[in-house]
Amino acid sequence: MTDHPEALAPELGLDAAQSRLDNLITPIQQMEDWPLHLCHGAILGQDMVSPINVPPSDTAAVDGYAFRHADLIANLEHAPDHAPDHALPISGKAHAGHPLAHAFIAKTAIYITTGTPMPVAADPAHSPDTIAMQEHCKLTEKNGKTWVILPNAIKPNMNFRPAGENIRSGETALTKGTYLGSAEIGLAAAIGQHTLSCMRRLRIGILSNGEELHDITTASSSSASSNPNEAREHQHAEGHIYDTNRPMLNSLVQNDGHIVHDGGIIADDPDQLTAAMIKLTEACDAVIVTGGSSGGSEDFARAAITAAGGRIDFAGINIKPGRPFAAGMIDQTPIFCIPGNPVAVFVTYRLLVAPALRRLGGGKPNPPLRFPVTCGFDAKHKSGRTDFIRVTLTRQTPAKTDHELPVAMPHGRFGAGVLTSVTGADGLLEISDNHGDVKKGDICPFIPF
């Protein structure tokens, strides 16, 4: 147990902090069965094996005329006058949901629409294996029959999807630990899964610490007025600011598929904060505390962890914003202490807390996507610290560079408390700890929101 947070080891780099969080977290094991339509944001609890082929049979990939390539007529004796070598009489139609009413007749063609199963002949060896696209074909009449004129260059086995092209019966469609987004839910539906075994959704406690915070969720009608002057007067009169962090974290946490337990705002009182942490750890799988983590004389979050019988695993990371970030445990419940500045909350949640919660919930690792962009601006940078600058991307090429990469431009004003630098931004420009001052034309990693 650590009694004096300020005596902890020196600040970690981002990668080291992420590694420490991985070691701190033990994934939950409990699973629940959920109806498919409620599974968005959940983590799949076991491999999902397909019981069927998708598609279940050979299926038309275009609107056109299906035929057996070997049946293309090579002489004109039975073909219409002046027809090219390739022509076949049409013997029926097949539409999605309305298959051919009889067995396919060899040496003929049928009209078929996209998504329709390919018809089968009485002798399966004589079933159609090729489709000519409708727009490439012409029709002609002779002897009371309609003939389709087929392109000379058509090749066998064209324009149909073979059975099991997407997934074969017995194949693992999704693996345990997969985050279930829209595409994954669509895939589960395609193989007939109406319920899924998912990891239990995490219960995440959230609380804000700060004497100056005003709870917007319980604001009076006057303080919540649409009149900005009234709202400003309310804040200034009481010396309060609205608590931005809990509503923002509530949205971030729910968007990741977790259940929020709102611990409210705790004033700058060590005993109250300790009691609130204990209460949340008893009800939740993890707790996020904003404010009170910088180690100053009025910052109580780290001390509350130890007072509650917990331990601090690390405190302080070499990033901006978010340097005072700390993590620890009370009993077996992870505690994330995030500095109170709103931008720091947003950035550290995305980079540190969200991946840790995914691991806690049994999900696969999902490191943030990074790709190179060109800096379109100059900025000072402190060596030894990784900075994350909120930026927008453009296609304008800045002077002094020939790189054909998106160009990153700073969005809004700098500062860990300037939330408008996040709203409307495309993502974060990562300035690594060994990078000097930022120069226009530098190539740096970009992390999209």
The model's pLDDT over 54-103, given as tens digits with 9 standing for 90+, comes to 999 999 999 999 999 988 754 344 555 555 567 899 999 999 999 898 99
pLDDT in tens, 295-337: 554 468 899 999 999 999 999 999 999 999 999 999 999 999 9
Average pLDDT over residues 211-232: 64
Query: Which 3 state secondary structure label does DSSP give 287?
Result: strand
The region of weakest confidence among 110-114, 133-137, 160-164 is: 133-137
Query: Which fold does the domain 371-448 belong to in CATH?
Result: Beta-clip (2.40.340)
- The amino acid sitting at 77 is E
Query: Which fold does the domain 5-30+202-360 belong to in CATH?
Result: Molybdenum Cofactor Biosythetic Enzyme; Chain A (3.40.980)
Beta strands 64-67 and 109-112 are antiparallel
| Token output for 65 | 């005329």
Q: Which of the listed CATH numbers 1.20.1630.10, 3.30.420.40, 3.90.105.10, 3.30.1280.10 matches domain 33-51+168-199?
A: 3.90.105.10
Please indicate whether residue 259 or residue 403 has the higher confidence score (pLDDT).
259
**Domain extents in the chain:** 5-30+202-360, 33-51+168-199, 59-161, 371-448
Asked if 265 and 216 touch (Cβ cutoff 8 Å), the reply is no
Asked if 309 and 274 touch (Cβ cutoff 8 Å), the reply is no
Asked if 130 and 66 touch (Cβ cutoff 8 Å), the reply is yes
pLDDT at position 240 is 80
- The amino acid sitting at 71 is D
Distance, C-alpha 339 to centroid of its chain: 25
* Residue whose pair of structure tokens reads 């998912």 in the numeric block: 198
Beta strands 386-394 and 427-431 are antiparallel
pLDDT in tens, 152-183: 778 899 999 999 999 999 999 999 999 999 99
pLDDT at position 2 is 41
Instruction: Tell me which CATH code domain 59-161 carries.
Output: 2.170.190.11
What is the spatial distance between Cα 114 and Cα 84, in angstroms, rounded to a whole number?
26
Asked if 408 and 374 touch (Cβ cutoff 8 Å), the reply is yes
- The amino acid sitting at 347 is V
* Residue whose pair of structure tokens reads 């931004």 in the numeric block: 425
* Exposed / middle / buried, residue 394 (Cβ in 10 Å: 0-12, 13-18, 19+): middle
| Token output for 135 | 């727009």
Asked if 97 and 170 touch (Cβ cutoff 8 Å), the reply is no
- The amino acid sitting at 287 is V
Q: What is the pTM of this model?
A: 0.82
What is the signed CA dihedral for 298, 224, 346, 278, rounded to 10 degrees? 50
The b-or-e profile of 315-353 (16+ CB within 10 A means b, else e) is: bbbbbbbbbbbbbbbbeebbbbbbbbbbbbbbbbbbbbb
